Amino acid sequence: MGFMEKSSKERKRTKASIKFVEKYYADDLAERASPESVWASQWAGYVNGDSVLDVACGPQFYDDALAFAHIPKKFVGIDINEANIEFLRTSSHPNVVEARTRFEKDGTRVELLVDDITIEKPEFRGRFDSVFASGIIGNFDEAGTRAVMRNIHSYLAPGGQFVMVSWGDDYLSKEKSEEKEASGWYQKQELKPEDYGRLISEAGFTIEKKGVHKVADPKAYEWGCIFGFVARKNADEGPSK
């Protein structure tokens, strides 16, 4: 699950400690075989195309791509948290090193940016075949979601695909919630999966697939549900202005 953008209008670049990011990544790897992680990871398999944008990519940027339908020729990651980008560029973790090496051998052009996904980048309009979002859309309020969805819709080429998976109904302890929020990693919202589905449709997408996984033991897992969507931009529609 990637970095959570702040919901206020004034968003500053935040920096969790590298130790926080490294621990988060290690904990994520340790639970990859869990039913929850297996369910969540399936959504990355719907991502395809030669040009892919991963919004709020988090430290799993490379891991996400290895689960795509195929490795893109151009892969861009954006995250407002500088530590995530620093980790991806400099980590000596074997998984990250192996993935970077594979991308280099495959000739994939990788671009990593510290940026705010709620602010449109005009140079991205119509540029991507797919946009992937893991663990981020479900952390916005309604206004923030609308802003992000407008941008994502703009960035996709006609017929392009938006794929997302996110987590909801948190059971985090007060201590852990405060730690994540202080690190710019999470901020609790009250919207439900169906609300995000409505907002995706309102942004001009056609939803092709959706699903909700109810967690069997939410107190132990710290989340009550995981939800995903696959949506497509109209093939007759040009880049948004």
Indicate left, alpha or beta for 37 from its phi (over 0: left) and psi (-120 to 50: alpha): alpha
Contact (Cβ atoms closer than 8 angstroms) between residue 203 and residue 174: no
Q: pLDDT digits over 36-69, tens only?
A: 999 999 999 999 999 999 999 999 999 999 999 9
**How would you classify the pairing of strands 74-79 and 223-233?**
unpaired
Q: Which domains does the chain have, with CATH numbers?
A: 18-233 (3.40.50.150)
Q: How far is CA 149 from the centre of its chain?
A: 12
Q: pLDDT digits over 84-118, tens only?
A: 999 999 999 999 999 999 999 999 999 999 999 99
Whole-angstrom distance, CA of residue 185 vs CA of residue 198: 25
- Tell me the three state secondary structure of residue 240: coil
131 strand-pairing partners: 53, 162
Which helix (H) or strand (E) segment holds residue 209: the answer is strand 205-214
Q: What is the pLDDT along the chain (241 residues), one digit of tens a residue?
A: 443 333 333 344 456 788 889 998 999 999 999 999 999 999 999 999 999 999 999 999 999 999 999 999 999 999 999 999 999 999 999 999 999 999 999 999 999 999 999 999 999 999 999 999 998 887 788 998 999 999 999 999 999 999 999 998 887 667 766 666 665 555 666 788 999 999 999 999 999 999 999 999 999 988 899 999 999 999 877 555 5
198 exposure class (CB count in 10 Å sphere: 0-12, 13-18, 19+): middle
What is the pTM for the complete model shown? Answer: 0.88
- Write down the pLDDT at residue 183: 56
- Write down the pLDDT at residue 65: 93
77 exposure class (CB count in 10 Å sphere: 0-12, 13-18, 19+): buried
